[in-house]
C-alpha cells in the first residue's frame, strides 16, 4: 500500500496517457496493414500504403481541400484574433465586457447549433455553399481560441520591458517590433497551430456548410461506412507526427533561448 500511495500519480499518468494515445497507436499500426479497401482486420505488414498515400480514390483531393481551408482560415483568424486580444488587454473602451463575453460564446455553443445557424444565415443571404462558406465558418469558431491564447500570453508580459524600451527613446512602433511582438510571438504561433488543428479536424460545421466540397474529415466519415482505407490512416498518422515534430522543435528552441 505504501508503494501504491507513493506511485499513484505515476500510475494514473501512465493509464491516462495510454488511454489518450491508444487511438493514435491503432491508426499508426493499421497504416501498415495490407487490408485492401476495407482496413478493419489485420492481414499483414506492408509499406505500400506509405509509399502510395494517394492510392485510395479522392483521399488526396480531400486532404488538399482541408489543408487549403486550414491555412487560409488560420491566417485570417490569427491576424484578427491577435488584434482583438491586444485591444481587449491593452485598452479600455465601451463594450469591452460585452466583447469578452461574445468571444467566449462560440467556444461554449455546441457545434451543431453553430453549424445550423451558419447554414441558415448563408441560405437567407443567398450565398452558395462551398469553399468560401467553409473558410468563413472556420474563421468564426477559430478566432475565439486565438483570442484566448494570445490574451494569456499578453497578460503574462512584464510591462516594465516596454517602459524601459521607451525610456531608451524607442518609438511605439519600434517598441512593438523589437520588444512586444517577439515576446508575444510564441503565443501567436501556438494559437495559429491550435486554429489550424481545429480547422483541419472539424466535421460538423464543415458538413453543414460545405456543399459539394469534400474535406478529409468528411471523407473519413463517409468511408467509415464501408471501411476506412489504409491511406487515410497513413495521412492521420503523418499529421500526428508532423505536429509532434513542431512541438519538439518549439520546445528545443525554447530551451536553447533559456540557456542563452
Is residue 166 predicted with pLDDT exceeding 80? Answer: yes
Instruction: Please report which confidence band the pLDDT of residue 44 belongs to, taking 50, 70 and 90 as the band edges.
Output: confident
Rg (CA), the chain: 22
Nearest partner of 81 among 139, 120, 132, judged by Cα: 139
pTM (2 d.p.):
0.85
Name residues whose C-beta falls within 8 Å of residue 226's C-beta, 6 or more positions apart in sequence.
37, 38
Each domain of the chain, given as residue ranges in start order, spans: 58-227
pLDDT at residue number 124: 93
pLDDT at 105: 85
Which three cell numbers, joined as nine digits, stand for 145?
481560441
Residue 157: pLDDT band with limits 50, 70, 90: confident
What is the band of 260 on the pLDDT scale with cuts at 50, 70, 90?
confident
Q: Which fold has domain 58-227?
A: MetI-like fold (1.10.3720)
Query: What are the tens digits of pLDDT across the range 197-227?
Result: 999 989 999 999 998 899 999 998 888 777 7
* Confidence (pLDDT) at 131: 93
Q: How does 87-114 read in b/e, with b if 16+ C-beta sit within 10 Å?
A: ebeeeeeeeeeeeeeebeeeeeeeeeeb
208 vs 90, which has greater pLDDT?
208
Look at residue 33 in the predicted model and tell me its pLDDT: 87
Distance CA(213)–CA(215), nearest Å, equals: 7
Residue 175 is predicted with a pLDDT of 87
Q: What is 106-144 written as a DSSP string?
A: HHHS-HHHHHHHHHHHHHHHTPPPSHHHHHHHHHHHHHH
pLDDT at 171: 85
Q: Which of 59, 29, 63 is nearest to 46 (CA)?
A: 29
Q: How high is the mean pLDDT of the chain?
A: 88
Provide the pLDDT confidence category of residue 146 given band limits of 50, 70 and 90. Answer: very high
Mean pLDDT (whole number) for 233-257 = 85
For residue range 16-29, list pLDDT tens digits in order.
999 998 988 998 99
The percent of residues in the chain predicted with pLDDT above 90, rounded, is 38
Average pLDDT over every residue of 170-191 = 88
Give the range with max mean pLDDT: 21-25, 58-62, 75-79, 84-88. 75-79
Across 150-154, 162-166, 196-200, least confident range: 162-166
pLDDT at 42 over 80: yes
**Residue 134 confidence class, pLDDT cut points 50, 70, 90:** very high
Angle between helices 131-155 and 59-90 (to 10 degrees): 40
Predicted local confidence at residue 81, as pLDDT: 93
Distance CA 194, CA 213 (A): 23
Burial class (CB in 10 A: 0-12, 13-18, 19+), 8: exposed
Amino acid at each position: 500500500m505504501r508503494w501504491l500511495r507513493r506511485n499513484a500519480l505515476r500510475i494514473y499518468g501512465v493509464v491516462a496517457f495510454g488511454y489518450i494515445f491508444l487511438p493514435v497507436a491503432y491508426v499508426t499500426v493499421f497504416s501498415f496493414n495490407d487490408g485492401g479497401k476495407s482496413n478493419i482486420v489485420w492481414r499483414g505488414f506492408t509499406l505500400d500504403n506509405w509509399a502510395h498515400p494517394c492510392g485510395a480514390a479522392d483521399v488526396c483531393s480531400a486532404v488538399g481541400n482541408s489543408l487549403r481551408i486550414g491555412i487560409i482560415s488560420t491566417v485570417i483568424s490569427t491576424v484578427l484574433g491577435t488584434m482583438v486580444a491586444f485591444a481587449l488587454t491593452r485598452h479600455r473602451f465601451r463594450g469591452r465586457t460585452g466583447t469578452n463575453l461574445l468571444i467566449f460564446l462560440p467556444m461554449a455553443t455546441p457545434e451543431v447549433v453553430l453549424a445550423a445557424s451558419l447554414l441558415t444565415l448563408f441560405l437567407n443571404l443567398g450565398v452558395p455553399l462551398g469553399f468560401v462558406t467553409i473558410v468563413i465558418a472556420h474563421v468564426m469558431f477559430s478566432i475565439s481560441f486565438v483570442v484566448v491564447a494570445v490574451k494569456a500570453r499578453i497578460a503574462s508580459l512584464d510591462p516594465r520591458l516596454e517602459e524601459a524600451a521607451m525610456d531608451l527613446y524607442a518609438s511605439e512602433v519600434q517598441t512593438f517590433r523589437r520588444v512586444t511582438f517577439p515576446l508575444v510571438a510564441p503565443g501567436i504561433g501556438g494559437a495559429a497551430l491550435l486554429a489550424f488543428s481545429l480547422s483541419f479536424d472539424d466535421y460538423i460545421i464543415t458538413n453543414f456548410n460545405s456543399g459539394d466540397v469534400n474535406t478529409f474529415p468528411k471523407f473519413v466519415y463517409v468511408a467509415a461506412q464501408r471501411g476506412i482505407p489504409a491511406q487515410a490512416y497513413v495521412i492521420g498518422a503523418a499529421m500526428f507526427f508532423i505536429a509532434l515534430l513542431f512541438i519538439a522543435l518549439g520546445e528545443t528552441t525554447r530551451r536553447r533561448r533559456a540557456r542563452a
